[in-house]
Every structure is written in structure tokens, then in C-alpha cells.
């Protein structure tokens, strides 16, 4: 297992936070094939580790890749099946950015052999560690929550019209976690912010693949609008905005702690 492809923090609570789009590194041999625009990595889920630092300090487990989603998207199935049939979406090894600008210089797109190489080097280690951790937490605690932490620009015309709600929760239409947990999220709110459950984002591959509430493994995704904690024009962390959002998330995690400890 190539453990250098991700970072992992152990904890004390039966909650594992996964941040599959938080990485910003690009292997040298791949970087040389990227366009100058792609090297800015604008579609990164910026500063997820910083925003959720409170959860790590409180004892949650955390897994996060070191490499960019432009290298390989860990929240896509390795067979590259479209998670939203009929809708535009990015692939396992994407060749264009959210705004359709190319990631690769002409003729430098990854071959099937190269894609398989990235699956072996980056996708498999992340998912193996994720599955192993869930199994261990399930065995130790009986109930475990997998929380998928994501963020996205508030406006991405390629994927949705207008402005995205601030908090976009997904539990794959109530299939990836218990109704009690879905209800707690549905009832949770943060003054001054909008929220939706199972809207445009219903949960990606990880939420769908690992959520198994009948077996005590509950998965929930949050796609957070970057307008809530960033200066979107500069992609700089806005400490004042982020503080309010982080405190709201901290309150939400108290509901999660109550759920897994009941």
C-alpha cells in the first residue's frame, strides 16, 4: 500500500471524515503535461482540513489525499461509471476543468494504461485505508459515520443553474444513512445560511459505495458553497466567514456524536 498518497489521522470517536478533493500536489511527470490554467487547481475543495480542524481535535478520524482531483478523482468509481446519468459530470481522470478549459496540453491526455496506473498508485490505497478504517471502527463501536467533506464554487453553470445553496447535504436519497441521521440534518440549520438535502448533489461514489445503514455504517456528504468561507475571486481563506461556518459545523457534529453514541 502506498501510504504516501494520503494523510491519515487517528481519533477516538467512530466518525471518519473523508476529504477526497482536498489534495493539491501533482506528480512531476503529470505536471509537465498540464496546461498553465490547470496548474492553478481552481476546482480544489479548498481548505477543508482547516475548516474541519475542530473535528480532528475532538477525536474524529480523518483521511485526505495528497494529490489533486485532476490527477485522479477518488470520489468516482474506478470503472468511471457516470454517477449522474444524463447530466454533465467529470470523470475518474478528468481531462477538462469545471469551466471546460482543458487540463492537458494537446495530445498529453492520459492513456488507458496511465489511468490504470493512477488507480493502482492513488485510488486503491485511499479506498483500502478507508474500508479498513470503517471495518475497524464498526468492530470496535458497532456504529460508524463516514462524513464526506466537500466544497465547490457557489456558481458553476456546467453543473447547476444560478447560485448553489450554502449547505448541500446528500445521503443518496436516504439510502446511505439511517432516517434518524437524515432527520437530524434536515432539522439542523444555521441562521443566515441556506440548506438543501439531496438536491443537485446526492452523494458521490464514496457515500453511495460505503454507506450501509443496515450494517451500522452510515455515510453522509456535505457539499459546502465556497462563498461561505472563501473570497471566491482570489480563493483566499476568509477567517471571519470561516469562523461562523466552522462553529455551525461544530454544532452539527455534536448531533453526529449523539447519534453514534446512542
Alpha helices in the chain (DSSP H): 28-31, 48-51, 53-57, 112-118, 124-141, 179-187, 205-210, 239-260
pLDDT digits (tens, 9 = 90+) for 52-66: 999 999 999 999 999
- Mean pLDDT, to the nearest integer, of 18-45? 97
Q: Does position 2 have pLDDT exceeding 70, yes or no?
A: no
Euclidean distance between CA atoms 174 and 198, whole angstroms: 8
pLDDT digits (tens, 9 = 90+) for 199-221: 989 999 999 999 999 999 999 99
Structural domains present in the chain: 3-26+42-68+126-260 (3.40.630.40)
Q: What is the pLDDT of residue 1?
A: 39
Euclidean distance between CA atoms 149 and 45, whole angstroms: 9
Amino acid at each position: 500500500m502506498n501510504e504516501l498518497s494520503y494523510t491519515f489521522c487517528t481519533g477516538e470517536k467512530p466518525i471518519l471524515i473523508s476529504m477526497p478533493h482536498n489534495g493539491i500536489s501533482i506528480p512531476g511527470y503529470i505536471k509537465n503535461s498540464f496546461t498553465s490554467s490547470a496548474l492553478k487547481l481552481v476546482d480544489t475543495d479548498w481548505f477543508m482540513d482547516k475548516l474541519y480542524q475542530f473535528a480532528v481535535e475532538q477525536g474524529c478520524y480523518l483521511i485526505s489525499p495528497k494529490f489533486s482531483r485532476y490527477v485522479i478523482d477518488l470520489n468516482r468509481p474506478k470503472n468511471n461509471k457516470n454517477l449522474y446519468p444524463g447530466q454533465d459530470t467529470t470523470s475518474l481522470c478528468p481531462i477538462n476543468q469545471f469551466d471546460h478549459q482543458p487540463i492537458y496540453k494537446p495530445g498529453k491526455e492520459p492513456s488507458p494504461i496511465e489511468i490504470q496506473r493512477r488507480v493502482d498508485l492513488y485510488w486503491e490505497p485511499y479506498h483500502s485505508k478507508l474500508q479498513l478504517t470503517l471495518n475497524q471502527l464498526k468492530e470496535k463501536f458497532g456504529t460508524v459515520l463516514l462524513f464526506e467533506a466537500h466544497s465547490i464554487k457557489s456558481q458553476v453553470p456546467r453543473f447547476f443553474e444560478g447560485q448553489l445553496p450554502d449547505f448541500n447535504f446528500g445521503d443518496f436519497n436516504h439510502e446511505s444513512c439511517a432516517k434518524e441521521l437524515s432527520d437530524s440534518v434536515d432539522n439542523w440549520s444555521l441562521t443566515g445560511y441556506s440548506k438543501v438535502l439531496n438536491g443537485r448533489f446526492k452523494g458521490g461514489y464514496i457515500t453511495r459505495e460505503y454507506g450501509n445503514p443496515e450494517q451500522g455504517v452510515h455515510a453522509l456528504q456535505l457539499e459546502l458553497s465556497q462563498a461561505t468561507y472563501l473570497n471566491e475571486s482570489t480563493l483566499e481563506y476568509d477567517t471571519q466567514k470561516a469562523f461562523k461556518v466552522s462553529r455551525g459545523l461544530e454544532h452539527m457534529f455534536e448531533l453526529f456524536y449523539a447519534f453514534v453514541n446512542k
